[in-house]
Structures are given as structure tokens and as C-alpha cells.
Structure 1
Amino acid sequence: MIKSSSMVACNSFATRQAARYITRLYERHLGTAHVTSTQFSILVLLSETSGMTMSELADALVMERTSLVRAIKPMERDGWLKAERVSQDTRKLVLSLTLQGQNKVQEALPLWQKAQQEFEAQVGSERAAQWRHDFLELTRGT
């Protein structure tokens, strides 16, 4: 980090640096399963529901729909998830996991747990829990 820069007082700069650092840590672990951290989040969210629309998933991830579409295309191609039209509204797509997607979650979960352990070893469990709470509280307001 550049200590002499005026950017050290910038909240955006600091949080983006932290986000990139944390993403690299998690992706180093998840890479063994050929999953990015964004893909892992999508897979887990879909594994916990019976299906989500693109809008619901984008909202849950605090992500632009166009970015979400780019993220799910390779997952559809690889057979991890499927998109089906809702019968009442043919414009809406509901995303859900396939069996391959469920298997991918099971493969990636222990790797994610190792990433969690490494991160918490670096910053402490209590501090990590407080950060999660604070960041989730912040994003729920959006």
C-alpha cells in the first residue's frame, strides 16, 4: 500500500483494495474446484432456494444484472445451473441448480471453509464476524 498517497484517507480506495485482497485469497482456494468467488456465491444462494429470478439474485448479490448475466453464462454452459421461464410471465427466468451445480457446491464447500479459516487466522474470528456484520448491514440498505 502507498503510505504517502492521499488515497489512504479514501474509503472507496481502502475497501476496494481489501475486496481485491480478500477475493484473491478465496479464489486461490476455490480455484482448485475451478470456481470463482462470484460463482461460488451464486451456487450457494441457488442451493439454498428453490430458484431465484435474475432480479432476486442480482439484488441478493448487490450486483448489476448485466454483470450477473456475464457471470452465469459460463455456469450455464458448464451445466451447473439452468434458467427456466416462469409460466405466468414468459419474460422472467428462474435460475436453479442442476445436479452438476449441486455437486460443484459440495466440491467447493471444503475449499471455501479453508479460505474462511485462513482469513480468520489473519484478522481474528471476532474481527471477521464484526466486519461481516457491518458490511452486510451496510449493503442491506441499498
Structure 2
Amino acid sequence: MSERSSMAACNSFATRQASRYITRLYDRHLSAAQVTNTQFGILVLLWETPGMTMSELALAMVMERTSLVRAIKPMERDGWLKTERAAQESRKLVLSLTESGHNKVQAALPLWQKAQQEFEAQVGPEKAAQWRHDFLELTRNT
């Protein structure tokens, strides 16, 4: 197999491998707060932007709605967030954090900061910032 056709030349393979590695790093830190990296992302987005609809949250997370529903169900069951019908359009669900959800974010933030520090110690703060910028730009343009 030539270098051109090998997995070492595959952008998808490399980014998925990196994604799994980074997710494990963050999950390891966040596990002390009994929250996953995905759950933390959802909680923080709702903390920063209360009242997001399912569609808005799915777009922000770059997730299929069905995957988002599966991720949200345990958090709703555990009392971290609640869903309500939108006042103007009853077909839309609006999500917000409960007090327990706010507490979960507060407990997880210092752990997330440690994960950030560990990652940046491995790749360097400048490279981490550049990657963040590039990846966010890529997903914003889709």
C-alpha cells in the first residue's frame, strides 16, 4: 500500500483517532464529577445560553438530533436539565439547567480546567489555540 492510500494519509482516520484520544483525556478528568465530556459540553452550552431549543443545541454540538436526545435523556432523568415546550411553538422543546445541573457544572469546571492544562502541556498552548480556532472555523462553515 502506498503512502498516498494508507491510513496515515487519511484525514478522517487521523482526526477520529485524535478525537478519541482527547475525549478519553477529558473523560478521565471529568469522571470525578460523574459527568462525561459530551454531557459537560451540553451542560455548559445550556449554562451559557439558557433556553436553547433541541435544534439549536444539536447545531451547536454538531450532533444529529437523535444522538442528542440519547445524550440528554440520562441528564434529564438525573435532574440536571429539564425540557419544556416553547411558548410560541409547542412543537419545539426548550432546554434549561436545573439547580442540580448548575451544581454539576460548578463541580466539573475545575476538572475540565485540569484536562485543558494537561492537553496544553502535551501539545503546547499555541498549537492548542490554533487547533481550536481551526476546528471551530471548520464546523461553523458547515
Task: Please say whether Structure 1 and Structure 2 have the same fold, judged by a TM-score greater than 0.5.
Answer: yes
**1:61-72 to 2 correspondences below 5 Å:** 61-72=61-72
Letter in 2 for 1:19: S
TM-score (norm 1): 0.96
Instruction: Describe the superposition over 1:20-67 as per-residue Cα deviations: whole angstroms up to 9, x where unpaired.
Output: 000000000001111010000000000011210000000001110000
Letter in 1 for 2:68: L
Structure 1 match to 2:128:
128
Structure 1 match to 2:32:
32
Matched, 1:82 2:82: yes
Q: How far apart are residue 139 of structure 1 and its match?
A: 0.4
Distance 2:55 2:131 in 1: 26
Q: For structure 1, list consecutive stretches of 5 or more residues without a partner in the other structure.
A: none
TM-score (norm 2): 0.96
Distance 2:20 2:131 in 1: 16
Deviant stretches of 4+, over 3 Å: none
Distance 2:56 2:22 in 1: 25
Structure 2 match to 1:11:
11
> Identity percentage over the alignment?
82
CA RMSD across the alignment: 1.2
Matched, 1:43 2:43: yes
Instruction: Describe the superposition over 1:75-126 as per-residue Cα deviations: whole angstroms up to 9, x where unpaired.
Output: 0000000000112211111000000000000000000000000000000000
Q: What is the count of residue pairs matched by the alignment?
A: 139
Letter in 2 for 1:82: K
